[in-house]
Structure 1
Amino acid sequence: MNESLERRYRKLLRVYPADYRRERGDEVLDVLLAGEPDRRWPSPRQAHALLRGGLRVRAGSTTPRPTATVWWQGVHLAALAVLTYAGASSVRLALMWIGGPPGVVDLLAGKLYGPYIRETWLPLGLAPAVLLVATLVALVAGYGRVAAVLAAAAGVVPTVLQSNDTIERSPMLWFVWWGPALAVILIVASLRRPADVPAVGRGTGWLLVAATAGTTLVPRWELPLPLILAAAALLLSAVLWLGSADPRILTALAALACLKVLTEIETDGRTYIWMVHTYTPGYGIAATALLIAAAVQTRRHARV
């Protein structure tokens, strides 16, 4: 027996859920070893197939209702992604008030919106951030109704902390409303998950939270443009590959794109009532494309 190859295949099989490995792991391993008795390393083709297969199984391809599983778990992950993005953005907002990266506070607070914004950024950033983190913990732990209440509070509390006049003039109004509002809709929708559809694993939920928070909090203003473009291309390639194996990722990304559309709609109540940026349609097109891709991949996921 090729012990080196077996050991490496066992490491690759860890991408599959533990229950699946217990039931079918030895059978799959026997087939893999029989086909490549003289190799010391798995072939790239086999490694790729195992990784994709593990993602598909984790996305519910072996459940009795794979389409329903992918759909309802996708809604749940979309809620987590929206909460994480809104919370991480609120943290960045609070850090800018406290004293963020050199030059950023003066640029944004002084040149764009005026010095008054320093007095509103901390409550607008810190209060939602604390509540949204609590919402994330509750949702991952399986307390959906508690999470819905906390997400609603994340939108209401910062508003109560300030006068109506301040809120009307605040260019950060979307932090108060759009993120928590969309999260509440997704959380309430996920509560309707049928009893025979399994819930999202906590490990998967926390992995998505970490990935979303990491990409949101990266200090992009300190990186050179070529590095940003290269990182964006690499990230896009990885996301598309993941989405082709796990349609739940596409559903979560579609929700984030919808949130970006909403956050591009601004008002300060003085110089303009509503404003839509010129690149907002791009986010709208991305959201539509991701929703279509998620629907198509979900149907394919059930047939393959």
Structure 2
Amino acid sequence: MSELERRYHRLLRAYPAEYRRARGAEIVGTYLDLAGPERRWPSPADAADLLRGGLRQRLRAAGAADLIPGVRLAAVLAFFTATALAAVWSVLELHPPRAEWGVPNAGPFVSLGIGVWAAWLLAAVAHAVAPGRWTRRAVALALLSTVAVVPVAALAGLPRPPLFVLLPQVGLGLVALGLPDRLPASVRAAPLIAIAATGLASVNVLPRNDLFLSYYSWTASQILPGAAVVLLLVVLLLGAGLALRADHRGGWALLVLLTPVGLLFLRPLGGAVDGNMRGAPNPGWPVLAATAVVVCLAGPALLPLTIALRKRRRGPGPVASGDRCPTCGRTAERAP
């Protein structure tokens, strides 16, 4: 056995043991046939392909073949929500305080958040024009700007959006990194339509330019939970509709989105805890921080727990060829 073949066999450990015994030699042989004569290591593309294939087979063995399509559905919904919120906050940024009020601001804007929200709006444009890799890069850039605004504001001595506004955006952005490469044109344009509708609604609902808007006023305390309710209702309705066709993507999408939804509900959740403890109408920062930690730990933990429970209930045994495709979610005909 050559060193290259041995290294391919090491990568094959990503697959379940039963699958390796059945098809391992065939898979490695295919990669060796395609490899150049001077190659000593598997290419990064081959390694990524084997790891992806191993993950899909393990999910199928655990009865979670719908997980990857569910993650993609969750990514689309998270991206729509993140860009719609960016449109709302962009309108809010256009209502800075008057100079005579002595409230800190960032020039003609409320805070440095205007740069963050502009990055998210540009990601929506990239999604409509160049879906796939370029959109994911734009989302990653928007995520980076969302995180970077905290130290930048501290160094510049300028205001920024509060953490209970930035944290949900980070949670939604992390899920949105799973956007699929191919989507219908109508779906690609949907974020731009949502941004336009949200912006128009915000202009008409929010006070006029002679009033100062703050993230700490009723805007964030009502807009964020409202977005959480809408997102939750949409994924529940989609999940129910898909379940009627024996398609369980919606259930997995709900599990993936529970953490961003919890972060959108951060202030009400923290207020419920703080209000019960000391009767405070607004939660204190220690309670908000503790609530955020609980949400960020409990939400992601539900996904592997659900996979483990499904695997235990499914029991050992080979995966039939009629299981749902882990890539597209379609059901094939079962072999007799």
TM-score by length of 1: 0.44
Q: Which has the larger radius of gyration?
A: 2
TM-score relative to the length of structure 2: 0.41
Structure number having the greater helix percentage: 1
